[in-house]
Amino acid sequence: MSKLVYNEMLKIVRKKRLWVIAAIIAVLVALFTYAQYRETEELRKRLGTTDWRTQLQQQIVDLQNRLQSPSMSEEWRKYLQIRLKQQQYYLEHNINPSAPGAPTFMRTFIENAIDLFLPLLVMVVAADLVSSEASAGTIKLLLVRPVKRWKILLSKYIALLLSVSLIMLMAAVLSYAISGLVFGYGGFRLPLLTGFVPQGEDLNTANVHMIPQWKYILIELGLAAFVSVVVGTLTFMFSVLLRSTAAVMGIMLAALISGAILSNMVSSWHSAKYLFMVNLRLTDYIKGAAPPIEGMTLGFSMAVLAVWGLAGLLVAFFVFMRRDVY
């Protein structure tokens, strides 16, 4: 089995997929670092000070002003009210929620990358794992060896899991290393609050507690890895079902993007919460942001994702084992 996995990793590496992914991460992280830097500068200019307390107070005033506007959807108002409560809590407890530093950048990067960017990178590897062998015809040479079909597919899936781990590692290391050049490398011990539970319009702060930022980042990385594995598994399934890598990419991209759009408009369509693509923002539960549909929790979302992933894996193996290869 390890020889088969070695074969699959060799092919992924020699196709230079992982280098492309590393390059994409590096370029985008540099871009975001610069954007973040400009935003901090802008804020500093506007407020005339870099004191975060003033900044936070300013943000709270901003929020309060926006809440007074009458032409606002009920949903948005609810969200802003929750944010307001959260920020007031930070101020009262003397905690800087966005203390600059590479770890903070890394944290926000993961939070923003979890539902689209990281899954996209995983797709770059997963989309052509099987479909490229089918379209190039090399699948025939693979399947006429004295190895059972399920072992061949399993070796590919293990190679995918290894690649996902590598991608997560690259995202973490590159975002830390590159943003640190600008923001400095300190800030792992910064205490952060978690445990906010949005309940309707209220923010339940009963379970709020403090954890150091490094722990927070580890939790988020774990959640991001979970999301990436599920999206990778579904992509893998389509890669088995379809010969065209472009079609696999197209379907998965459409699903991911529709998820991002749906999250903003499905609050009254309750059964939409069983779609995998509206459940991708797992880090929001840690942050305490309102879920797209009332009643969704971290456990619920992870269960939905796990079911989708398992179903995808079953379909992939079932089809691959029985299919006639032309």
Partner 1 sequence: MTKQVTLAVKELRKTIRGKEIIKGISFELHEGEVFGFLGPNGAGKTTTIRMLVGLIRPTSGTVAICGYDLHRQFTDAIRQIGCIVENPEMYPYLTGWENLEHFARMMPGIGADRIMEVAKLVGLEQRIHDRVGTYSLGMRQRLGIAQALLGKPKVLILDEPTNGLDPAGIREMRAFIRFLAETEGLSVLVSSHLLSEIQLMCDRVAIMAKGRLLAVDTVERLLNQQARVVWKAAPTDRARALLAAETEVLRADEETIVTPYEPSRLAAWNAKLVQAGVSVSEIEPRLPTLEDLFIELTGGETIE
User: Is 159 exposed, middle or buried (CB count within 10 Å of its CB: 0-12, 13-18, 19+)?
Assistant: buried
Check binding of 10 to partner 1 (CB under 8 A).
yes
Q: Is the Cβ of residue 29 or residue 134 nearer to partner 1 in the bound state? A: 134
Please list the residues that pair with 193 across neighbouring strands: 210
- How many CB atoms within 10 Å of residue 192? 22
Sign of CA dihedral 42, 37, 263, 83: negative
Dist CA 39 CA 41 (whole Å): 5
| DSSP state string for 91-121 | HHTT--TT--SHHHHHHHHHHHHTTTHHHHH
Question: Shortest CA distance to 314 belongs to which of 164, 153, 161?
Answer: 153
Return the number of the residue (139 or 256) whose C-beta is nearest partner 1: 139
Identity of the residue numbered 172: A
Q: Find the angle CA(59)-CA(107)-CA(160) to the nearest 5 degrees.
A: 145
User: Which residues, including other chains, have CB under 8 Å from residue 309's CB and lie 6 or more apart?
Assistant: 229, 230, 233, 234
Spell out the alpha helix ranges (H) of 184-279.
213-241, 245-262
Cβ of residue 59: shortest distance to partner 1, in angstroms?
51
**Residue among 6 and 269 whose Cβ is closer to partner 1:** 6
Altogether, the residues listed in the chain come to a count of 326
| Of 64 and 138, CB closest to partner 1 | 138
User: Can residue 44 be called a binding residue for partner 1 (CB under 8 A)?
Assistant: no
Nearer to partner 1, 138 or 199 (CB): 138
Site residues for partner 1, 97-136, by CB under 8 A, read 136
Tokens of 83: 């944010």
Smallest gap from Cβ 325 to partner 1, in A, equals 4
| Comparison of 66 and 243: residue with beta carbon closer to partner 1 | 243
Among 4, 106, 221, 282, binds partner 1 (CB under 8 A): 4
106 to each of 51, 103, 184, 190, 203, how far by Cα in Å? 22, 5, 12, 13, 26
Q: Does 138 bind partner 1 (CB under 8 A)?
A: yes
Stretch that binds partner 1, among 137-145, 179-187, 271-279, 291-299 (CB under 8 A): 137-145
Q: Is residue 215 near partner 1 by the rule CB under 8 A? A: no
Does residue 318 belong to the site contacting partner 1 (CB under 8 A)? no
- Interface with partner 1, residue 54, by CB under 8 A: no
140 is an interface residue for partner 1 by CB under 8 A: yes
> Which of residues 129 and 190 has its CB atom nearest to partner 1 in the complex?
129
Q: Which of 99, 142, 313, 319 touches partner 1 (CB under 8 A)?
A: 142
Instruction: Determine which residue in the list 48, 70, 146, 299 makes contact with partner 1, applying CB under 8 A.
Output: 146
Extended beta strands in the chain, E state: 191-194, 197-199, 202-204, 209-212
148/189 with CB nearer partner 1? 148
CA 87 to chain centre: 24
Q: Give me the least distance between CB of 11 and partner 1, in Å please.
A: 7
Judged by CB under 8 A, how many residues of this single chain contact partner 1? 24
Q: Give the binding site for partner 1 (CB under 8 A).
A: 3-4, 6-7, 10-11, 14-15, 136-138, 140-148, 322, 324-326
